[in-house]
Chain A
Amino acid sequence: MSGGTHTLPPDIGSLVRLVLAASLIFCTLLPSVGWSAEQASALDLSGLSVDPLKASPGKVVVLIFVRTDCPISNRYAPTIQRLSAQHPGKTAFWLVYPDRAESPEAIRKHERDFGYLLPALRDVQRTLVQQSHVQITPEAAVYDVHHRLVYHGRIDNLYEDFGRARSAATTHELEDAILAAIHGGSLAAESVPAVGCYIADLP
């Protein structure tokens, strides 16, 4: 863990230790915790500010914007989990929950229910939403190793519209974007509209 040079208020510090003790599984996924609110305003589930880009140096960063009550977003859970395991050590996946009303406990339950083994952030200020230019859940944002946004949009084309799903996706935009970010290839499109629930509807 970096960030040890910061002086933590006693209560925060104990909270961090508590989280570490309880969540060793996430140690490799949470290499950096930025304590500065100016750097990032997304919160992890213990309430600490986290900048997922700074926390993932040298890696392709993939932010997946999801919502606990969005059925399309939920149906993608196995796909998201599968993609997160495809390039170990080269990518850092984060689930980003933009709904301010979703509590850490509700998010933990959501992760358990849907088999997620990914770190989750609450984007209560919509900083990551704006930074990633996303509008929908589920929508993905891919940052290359230099943490430049190289893709934002749908995960694949499983859904053509609300209620209009293919039996299986035939294009795989997120997978292509990750490969391009790792290997330096080019993408057909930097953004492809997603189908799902509108983030702008959220309070």
Chain B
Amino acid sequence: MIQTLAGILMLGICVVAVARDDGVGRNTVGSFHGSSAGEISRFTGVKAAALPGLRPAQQVATGGATGAPVTFTRDIAPILFHSCAPCHRPREAAPFSLLSYGDAKTHARQIAAVTERRIMPPWLPAVDDPKFADDLRLSAEQIALLRTWVEQGTIEGDPADLPAKPQFVEGWQLGKPDVVVKASEPFELPAGGSDTYWNFVFRSPVDRAHWLKAIEIRPGDQRLVHHANVLVDRGQTARLQEKQPGAGFGGMELTIESEVFDPDSHFLFWKPGSSPYVEPDGMAIRLDKNTDLVLNTHLQPSGKPEMLQPTLGLYFTDKPATLHPILLQMENDRLLDIPPGDKDFHVDDDFTVPVDVELLAIYPHAHYLGKDLQAVATLPNGTKETLIHIARWDLNWQAVYRYTSPMTLPKGTTISMRFTYDNSADNIRNPNHPPQRVVAGNRASDEMAHLWLQVLPKDSAGAAVDPRAVIQEAMARHNLDKNPNDFEAHYNLAALLQGRGELGESTAHFALAVRIRPEDATANNALGAALLAAGRPAQSVPYLSVALKARPDYFDAHYNLGNALASQGDFAGAQVHFRAAVRLNPEDANAEANLGSALAETGDVREARSHYERALRLNPNLELARENLQQLDQEKSTTAPN
């Protein structure tokens, strides 16, 4: 990759260096901040996890079937200890414990009622789905036992029959984390009202790059939190939505921008009763310096004001990622225009995978009108396989479902998403009363039709092209077929094309992205950078200026505009933007070196030298800065009086 520094070197004192680099002395600009093979992704991710501290369910005693009365100690306690106690215990998410006969007796009818209607334990997929890890469902026999126990008078039974109480790990489930970060400010959840969605931004939790094997999410008072997701924000863009640094911000969904091709690849999810998921060897998550973690939480009022200040525990590993899964997002939000009263509104999407993949996990997502959510794979041989079917969607219990064994989806498999919505008054969760037209959007009262799939491309190690990029490109083109005005698809496709050197088509898609969102800082910067790379600095300036108008502290745009102005001989203007870039990111050696070059061009040799020297302290291998500095020294020696 050609260093951006070369862009400034041709402008006078370092022409020699450029000529050496490309052999023809052409102006070469590349690797622009914020545009190189970057991406924008939107995601609410999740991870299911094992129930902590318990063995698989015991064989249920069939007291009723043998004619003996059903007792707590013999028949009921094993069910409650295995399937309920992970949440129904002190300091956990559930509102009461179910660890003793007294606990169970005082909620006996409620237990029978909620299990009979399969409200508890919360588990959405239908029975005939593929096998998922951590399946919480009770068997029909277990449910019948609970009912019989209540009908027979909640008999305690022989204490000798009582199994050992489940043992749970207190505190951090995976032991002491390598790093613990706490939300800088608590969020006050009002006593009443409807559900609330709040995002906490954890700023740069590490000071150097690490591989993570797990992130343990401790959302605070677990009774208030329905679910939470962590998003890795490599571009630190989510924090821009905060009114004050550290304050967090509201919103059900959020968009994360990334400057490098590093697509979302892991579900980082918390739900009540879940323990943190430890990534398998080879699937660690990279966490760099200057990366934020964003915790997206779904909160439910308790009846009194509550303060919430989540913490995250980070667990490192020395085993870097060797397997690179990717999260596929299927969606068809554009079709979401649901008339009031419609009880059976359908949204579909069909995507054909361009490479062989293994499906590891799946996460369907809709809001309050969602009714029936399913996904089916049609293999190249015509075989159909259900990937998931949720016949009674409930946003409150959404989760990631991880297959017990990965499902192989050969190249050419078509994944079909089939979501149904109920916008009638019969849907008790309908946020509008009376029902109103509902379209796609990020608010809870809007709707979504999203299906996330975590897939691992097969045999990617020897592939000439990263199969994730092949999938991303296929997905972006698929999205543009559905919606030619899909901003994110244009942007992501442009970034992918730029990454493999197809600059013409790339620039065209960046331009289309800007046409769709004329004031978007990221897209304008990317288009400006692409034009700059194509040797059209004058055309790049208006876009980079728009980017800075939208986001005045945008390092990348300052850096690129500095280059664009310098390319046109406006060194004073370039200095302004390089100085801003250095102020915004004092650790960037290229910005320091380019500022040095711009200063040298205007004759400010002393300050130029200091910036070259600083650039070299930041990056001793920055050869062009070294050569420029040497050239300054030579000029000084040749012009010095004898």
Contact = CB atoms under 8 A, between A and B. Distances in A.
A168 B302 contact: no
Contact of B105 (A76, A77, A78, A201): A201
Contacts of A26: none
A163 B302 contact: no
B110 A166 contact: no
A200 B110 CA distance: 10
A190 interface: no
Given A70-B95, A161-B117, A201 B108 contact: yes
Q: Pick the most buried of B105, B107, B368: most chain A CB atoms within 10 A of its CB.
A: B107
A3 to B, nearest CB: 33
A74 B303 contact: yes
A164 B429 contact: yes
Interface residues of A, number: 30
A70 B107 CA distance: 10
A167 interface: yes
A198 B428 contact: no
A163 B429 CA distance: 11
Contacts of B113: 162
Q: Pick the most buried of A160, A166, A203: most chain B CB atoms within 10 A of its CB.
A: A166
B109 A166 contact: no
B96 to A, nearest CB: 5
B148 to A, nearest CB: 16
B117 A200 contact: no
Interface in A159-192: 160-168, 170
Q: How large is the interface on B (under 10, 10 to 19, 20 to 34, 35 or more residues)?
A: 35 or more
A55 B223 CA distance: 37
Given A70-B95, A200-B109, A203-B105, A163 B114 contact: yes
Contacts of B368: 167
Interface string B387-424: 00000001011000000000000000000000000000
Contact of B109 (A69, A74, A115, A201): A201
Interface string B434-457: 000000000011000000000000
Contact of B302 (A74, A99, A200): A74
A21 interface: no
A44 B457 CA distance: 68
Q: Is the interface of B mostly helix, strand, loop or mixed?
A: loop
A79 interface: yes
A197 B107 contact: yes
A75 interface: yes
B96 A115 contact: no
B197 to A, nearest CB: 13
A202 interface: yes
A189 B108 CA distance: 29
A99 B107 CA distance: 12
B95 A75 contact: no
A202 B106 contact: yes
A124 B396 CA distance: 36
B303 A76 contact: yes
B365 to A, nearest CB: 18
Given A71-B95, A74-B302, A115-B304, A162 B194 contact: no
Interface of A: 69-71, 74-79, 99, 101, 113-115, 160-168, 170, 197-198, 200-203
Interface of B: 95-96, 102, 105-110, 113-114, 117, 119-120, 122, 191-192, 194-195, 223, 301-305, 368, 394, 396-397, 428-431, 433, 444-445
| Shortest beta-carbon contacts, A-B, top 10 | A78-B192, A77-B303, A71-B95, A74-B303, A198-B109, A160-B428, A167-B194, A114-B304, A167-B431, A75-B303
15 contacts: A71-B302, A74-B302, A75-B301, A78-B303, A113-B304, A115-B304, A160-B428, A162-B119, A163-B122, A164-B394, A166-B429, A166-B433, A167-B368, A198-B107, A200-B109
